[in-house]
A and B are shown apart, each in its own frame.
Chain A
Amino acid sequence: MKCILLFVAAFFFQAAFAKGVYQTPDAFLNQVFGGNIPPLSSVWLTKDKKEVISRFLQHKPSFIRVKYWRNGLKTVWILNEVGKEKPITVGIVIESGKIQQLKVLTFRESRGWEVKHTFFTRQFDNVGINQEQQLDKHIDGISGATLSVRALKKTARIALYLEQQL
């Protein structure tokens, strides 16, 4: 009986964070910059940039600027993109044109949860973009999480492209 109660307690009451939030943007920035967060900067979406990003997204972006933080060669980007229904918040660290880390900060979708795990996101390590502005490495998908995988690949392309433009 005690075992059953313990199981039920573990099943129902293991939530420790706000729903779907795995790391806040502030905590992510603190971790990346060792507590010394550089000032916030923005890239404004000019007509040219908007066209390129629309091509990546296959729809028009809902934002008119992208926020980033820069320290030397390292930049950190926080982006949102909808998978199927809800925006997924992604933190991306880029150095010298290559992704150092991609992390799902908030996942709000009801399917495709696999993308939040490091076994999936570590595929983005050391990925850049080629001349066609495609990711220069194949990212293996996850069956049943196609739209979430697609959203993460799009955020990676946007961050790499904008970092090139700085």
Chain B
Amino acid sequence: MRNGIKKSGSLALLLGVLATPQASALTLEDLAKRLDALEAKNKQLIQENSQLREAVAITNDKVEAAVIATESIADSTSGIQKLADWADKTTIGGYGELHYNNLSGKGGASDKDAIDFHRFVLFFGHEFTDDIRFFSELELEHSIAGDGKNGEVELEQAYIDFDLNDNHTARAGLFLLPVGIINETHEPPTFYGTERNPIEKNIIPATWWAAGAGAHGELGAGFSYDAYVHSGLNVDDSFSVRGGRQKVSKAKANDPAATARLKYTGIPGLELAVSAQHQQNMGQGLVAGLESGNLIETHAIWSTGPFTLKALYAAWNIDGSAVEAAGADKQEGFYIEPSYRLSEKFGLFARFNQWDNKAGSNSGAAKDSEKEQWDVGVNYWPHEDVVIKADYQYQNNDNGEEQNGLNIGLGYQF
């Protein structure tokens, strides 16, 4: 019916056209033929349009299916882990840092003019199930390890975490102790200064790891905890805490130690933490006049806008007649570090450090044992995971032995 109306209308139009002189040569038969041709063309176009619509719908379905397939691959794996299904559960990471030190010694201290690939670290992790994970950190220090070489190959982490539920996790193996700011998080782009601060080197002997077991988790309201029983130090008669790290290498296990930490991060930009450690015997019972020891560490980090302020205090209290006589029964230090982020790529910092590994006495070998160091410098991040550092260190030690000068570093993490 609709076609009939269209046809009548078209015929009327054509009859009108016939009245014009130009169209007078066309016959009704010619017009009917043309009309038939137009109708045939129209029918063909309608058919083609219908076919195109069907094709578009099929293509849409195909695209949707392809996208879903692509997304499922992308969701399940990333990067190199796409290689195999098992690799989906395996993670690889790492960090490294190259240091250049140009320090002038005075008061009997040596000069230091050296370039050193201080740390090359690889992380390997594997998720056995949703609730059981392995994590490890393997480090090469000072580029070359071996007899007579400067470096060491060290296994700094190798533990298994067992999730007990969403908030609590048990841990066993070889792990970093929860003390201080950089002992657990020390990738170069995360801190200022080419060299790590001297308090977390000489009082907290970072990087500090032990073998043992315990748990960590959340307590709610921004509080979290860590609690472990682990292998202890084996300090010799020099009473150097740093020298007492056994690194879980055929370590003496006569006397264990325990460490606990309570941390508050309930306000963005704020971290408050306190750690306590008890060593049953600092020398594993092998050093006369050296007995138990306790470490207390507390720190605060406050970031607001481009400003960050870090402050840390750590102190040892060690029992024993020999260690007391040497003045090493108290070893303590603190640092305070304000920094300012000029932009995403640049940051400035200053740090004041003061420490004393023989703070228990001020006579004999323990006289003039207090040390101070100022650091000022800049970090430049060309990428969020790559950093170039430059800083100047100035020491003011009671014994007059000082190393002052420039440090430059290059670091990365992935």
- The closest CB in chain B to the CB of A119 belongs to B266
Are A114 and B269 interface neighbours, CB within 8 A? no
Nearest chain B CB to A99's CB is how many angstroms away?
A: 15
User: Using Cβ atoms and an 8 Å threshold, which residues of chain B touch A58?
Assistant: 383-385
- The closest CB in chain A to the CB of B265 belongs to A114
Are B166 and A19 interface neighbours, CB within 8 A? yes
User: Using Cβ atoms and an 8 Å threshold, which residues of chain B touch A120?
Assistant: 268
How many chain B residues touch A (Cβ–Cβ < 8 Å)? 41
Segment touching A, from B104-112, B125-133, B350-358 = B125-133
Q: How many A-B residue pairs have CB under 8 A?
A: 80
Out of A15, A82, A84, A143, which one reaches B166, CB within 8 Å?
Answer: A15
User: Using Cβ atoms and an 8 Å threshold, which residues of chain A touch B266?
Assistant: 117, 119
Are B71 and A141 interface neighbours, CB within 8 A? no
Answer whether A138 and B305 are a contact pair too, CB < 8 Å, given A58-B384, A64-B67.
yes
Does any Cβ of A come within 8 Å of B304's Cβ? yes
Interface flags, B39-77, vs A, CB<8A=1, else 0: 000000000000000000000000000010011001100
Most buried by B among A58, A80, A138: A138
User: Using Cβ atoms and an 8 Å threshold, which residues of chain B touch A113?
Assistant: 218
User: Using Cβ atoms and an 8 Å threshold, which residues of chain B touch A138?
Assistant: 305-306
User: Using Cβ atoms and an 8 Å threshold, which residues of chain A touch B150?
Assistant: none
Does any Cβ of B come within 8 Å of A140's Cβ? yes
Are A144 and B78 interface neighbours, CB within 8 A? no
Out of A80, A119, A141, which one reaches B75, CB within 8 Å?
Answer: A80
Answer whether A119 and B267 are a contact pair too, CB < 8 Å, given A19-B131, A58-B384, A62-B78.
yes
How many chain A residues touch B (Cβ–Cβ < 8 Å)? 35
Are A144 and B164 interface neighbours, CB within 8 A? no
* Assembled-state Cα–Cα distance A120/B301 (Å): 16
Answer whether A11 and B168 are a contact pair too, CB < 8 Å, given A140-B303, A146-B190.
yes
Are A62 and B74 interface neighbours, CB within 8 A? yes
Does any Cβ of B come within 8 Å of A25's Cβ? no
* Assembled-state Cα–Cα distance A64/B265 (Å): 36
Interchain residue pairs A-B with the least CB separation, the first 10: A140-B269, A140-B268, A62-B74, A15-B165, A143-B271, A143-B301, A85-B91, A114-B265, A19-B130, A138-B305
Q: Please report B residues at the A interface, Cβ cutoff 8 Å.
A: 67, 70-71, 74-75, 78, 91, 93, 125, 130-131, 133, 135, 161, 163-169, 181, 184-185, 190, 218, 222, 265-269, 271, 301, 303-306, 383-385
20 A/B residue pairs, CB under 8 Å, sorted by A: A11-B165, A12-B165, A12-B168, A14-B165, A15-B166, A17-B166, A58-B383, A58-B384, A62-B75, A64-B67, A114-B222, A117-B222, A117-B266, A138-B305, A139-B268, A140-B269, A140-B304, A140-B305, A144-B184, A144-B271
